């Protein structure tokens, strides 16, 4: 009975209630869309970093991590390689020979990391083979092919077939080098990665360096949710037991602590956005409830005078505010779900921000992502704030005596 009475009281002034519900709906849609945008951007940044740079797990010689000397290759890597071939959760892995050196054309030169890779294995670990915009990925035949990024090609004024000279310090600390020809040009979502990396065959690079072995094994998993690091941690633990104690096995959060920090702050960022919205919404509900209660002061005084307990009056006002919150939260959540689902299909093009996003390794089209927990948190928070917002108006009417309330003109 009291719920029915509260619902009717809520809609006595249809324009005012409808306006408040509309404000809650559009505000909630904006908040959820913003949360989805932030989550989508962070998720895209993490996905790209794992796909292009860090993989899920990396294995290096500990001394190589302390000082990237070309002679500090992995200690006894064969048991690790044999194990990775049979582990069910492993999608692919790539053994790399890494050198920091110079790349020079007839026009310019610049420092660069030279990645010596097995072309087939690397194509399964990173998306680089599918991101060739000119030419082709490294082939097994041909003399000294190299794949460079579009940014490197632009800075050194290179095109397909151009000759470049790679120079670096070999195993004896002597400067060595050789001429390579550009076989392919790639482009990744990260401008920093593009400017810093080039790819050659591992056999070509190891021969020039005069070093046998590999510096790094990069492993990717069949895991689709990169925000959950448990699979990578589990694999890293298994590989650590197989690896020589001089090697170090790291999951991607250890390789890139910044990514771990981003994940830990995603919840806090969304909480701040939601808090700003509910604060503004709470003030609006307080205003609506104050106007509603003050308009009915005399009526509520009469109800108390004829025997309605103050506890029941308090419950009535509380229910009115709760029903207002449930109505706004329900319609707003459904509208938000529809909006985010639509944007997740179409994407949000951010072409004008491509250069800035490229510095963070983010694609120029973002797809918002909102989890069911975030929808539930927004829904519950709106209702809780609605309930809290009714406490002050309820207190204003309950502290009056019935005779004083009935004497009010409004």
- The whole-chain average pLDDT of the chain stands at 87
| pLDDT for res 156 | 92
Which DSSP category does 127 fall into?
G
pLDDT for the residue 359: 67
Question: What does the pLDDT look like over 294-304, one tens digit per residue?
Answer: 777 888 788 77
| Helix segments in 201-256, DSSP class H | 202-209, 230-242, 252-255
Rounded mean pLDDT of 197-215?
92
Phi, psi of 67 (to 5 degrees): -150, 110
The Cα–Cα gap between 291 and 298 comes to: 13
Q: What is the pLDDT of residues 313-331, one digit of tens each?
A: 888 888 888 998 899 999 9
**Are 326 and 7 within 8 A, CB to CB?**
no
Q: What are the start-end ranges of the E strands in 79-232?
A: 90-104, 109-117, 132-135, 145-149, 163-169, 175-186, 197-201, 216-221
pLDDT band at 408 (very low <50, low <70, confident <90, very high): low
What pTM value is reported for the model?
A: 0.76
- Is it the case that residue 253 has pLDDT exceeding 70? yes
- Which residues, listed in sequence order, are joined to residue 199 by a DSSP beta bridge? 115, 147
CB within 8 A of 299, min separation 6: which ones? Answer: none
Distance CA 74, CA 64 (A): 8
Q: Beta-carbon neighbour count of residue 307 at 10 Å? A: 8
Q: How far is CA 179 from CA 93, 149, 315, in A?
A: 29, 17, 83
Out of 164-173, 264-273, 327-336, least confident range: 264-273
């Amino acid at each position: 009975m009291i719920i029915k009475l509260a619902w009717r009281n809520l809609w006595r002034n249809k324009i005012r209630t409808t306006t408040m519900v509309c404000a809650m709906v559009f505000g909630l849609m904006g908040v959820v869309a913003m949360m989805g945008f932030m989550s989508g951007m962070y998720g895209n940044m993490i996905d790209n970093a794992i796909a292009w740079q860090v993989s899920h797990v990396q294995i290096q010689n500990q001394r190589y991590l302390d000082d990237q000397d070309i002679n500090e290759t992995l200690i006894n890597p064969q048991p690790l390689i044999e194990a990775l071939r049979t582990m069910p959760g492993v999608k692919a892995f790539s053994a790399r020979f890494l050198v920091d050196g110079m790349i020079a054309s007839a026009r310019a030169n610049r420092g660069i990391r030279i990645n010596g890779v097995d072309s087939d294995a690397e194509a399964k670990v990173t998306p680089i083979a599918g991101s060739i915009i000119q030419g082709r990925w490294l082939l097994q035949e041909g003399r000294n092919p190299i794949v460079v990024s579009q940014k490197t090609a632009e800075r050194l004024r290179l095109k397909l077939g151009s000759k470049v000279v790679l120079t670096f310090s070999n195993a004896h600390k002597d400067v060595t080098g050789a001429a390579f020809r550009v076989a392919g040009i790639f482009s990744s979502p990260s401008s920093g990665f593009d400017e810093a990396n080039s790819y050659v065959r591992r056999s070509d690079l190891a021969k020039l360096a005069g070093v046998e072995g590999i510096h790094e094994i990069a492993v990717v998993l069949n895991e689709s949710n990169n925000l959950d690091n448990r699979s990578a941690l589990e694999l890293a633990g298994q590989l650590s037991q197989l690896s020589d104690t001089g090697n170090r096995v790291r999951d991607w959060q250890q390789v890139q602590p910044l990514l771990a920090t981003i994940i830990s702050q995603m919840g806090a960022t969304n909480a701040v956005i939601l808090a700003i919205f509910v604060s503004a919404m709470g003030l609006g509900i307080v205003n609506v409830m104050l106007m509603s209660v003050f308009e009915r002061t005399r009526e509520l005084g009469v109800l108390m005078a004829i025997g309605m307990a103050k506890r029941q009056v308090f419950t009535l006002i509380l229910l009115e505010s709760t029903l207002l919150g449930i109505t706004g939260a329900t319609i707003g959540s459904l509208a938000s779900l529809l909006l985010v689902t639509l944007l997740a299909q179409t994407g949000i093009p951010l072409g004008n921000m491509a250069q800035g996003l490229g510095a963070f390794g983010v694609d120029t089209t973002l797809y918002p992502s909102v989890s069911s927990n975030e929808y539930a948190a927004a829904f519950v928070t709106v209702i809780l704030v609605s309930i809290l917002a009714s406490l002050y108006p309820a207190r204003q009417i309950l502290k009056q005596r019935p005779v004083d309330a009935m004497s009010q003109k409004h």
